[in-house]
């Protein structure tokens, strides 16, 4: 079961957030998924996860991710990653700047019946805002 859950999380990251296939959210995220650490104004459930993926895909081009580790225990997968992209569209409420950005994060995903049902995560949004020129260094 742990390897299946890792495959779900890896597919969400690689196909959805990096590959831009937003429709993969429907395959991988439960309709009533609970996000304990949502983005500002993020809707609940699967729609919220779809919205975050859409924001990333629309706002950042040249997307790549380095997964530092994916560790599974039971129904939970912990993922540590560094995401890179070029800010070419609206992202986190900031119009395109053309800047290269790096986002670091750690997420804990819980899976049940082949879908993600819960998410907890920490993103270095302060560093992102600095890279976008919204706040000073």
Label residue 137 by pLDDT band (50, 70, 90): low
Q: Which of 67, 23, 79 is nearest to 46 (CA)?
A: 23
36: domain CATH number is: 3.10.450.50
Q: What does DSSP assign to residue 14?
A: I
Within 10 A of 125 (CB to CB), how many other CB atoms are there? 13
For 50, the 3-state DSSP assignment is helix
Cα 107 to chain centroid, rounded: 8
In a domain, 122, yes or no: yes
Count of domains forming the chain: 1
The whole-model pTM stands at: 0.92
In a domain, 136, yes or no: no
In a domain, 72, yes or no: yes
Mean pLDDT of 61-87: 96
In a domain, 123, yes or no: yes
Q: Is the pLDDT of residue 59 over 90?
A: yes
In a domain, 87, yes or no: yes
The whole-angstrom separation of Cα 137 and Cα 135 is 7
């Amino acid at each position: 079961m742990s390897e299946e859950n890792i495959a779900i999380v890896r597919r969400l990251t690689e196909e959805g957030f990096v590959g831009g296939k937003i429709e993969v959210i429907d395959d991988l995220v439960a309709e009533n998924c609970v996000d304990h650490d949502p983005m500002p104004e993020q809707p609940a459930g699967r729609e919220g996860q779809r919205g975050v993926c859409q924001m990333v895909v629309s706002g950042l081009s040249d997307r790549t991710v380095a997964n530092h580790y994916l560790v599974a225990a039971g129904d939970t997968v912990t993922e540590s990653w560094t995401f890179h992209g070029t800010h070419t569209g609206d992202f986190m409420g900031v119009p395109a700047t053309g800047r290269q950005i790096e986002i670091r994060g750690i997420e804990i995903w819980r899976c049940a019946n082949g879908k993600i049902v819960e998410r907890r995560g920490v993103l270095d949004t302060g560093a992102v805002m600095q890279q976008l020129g919204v706040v000073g260094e």
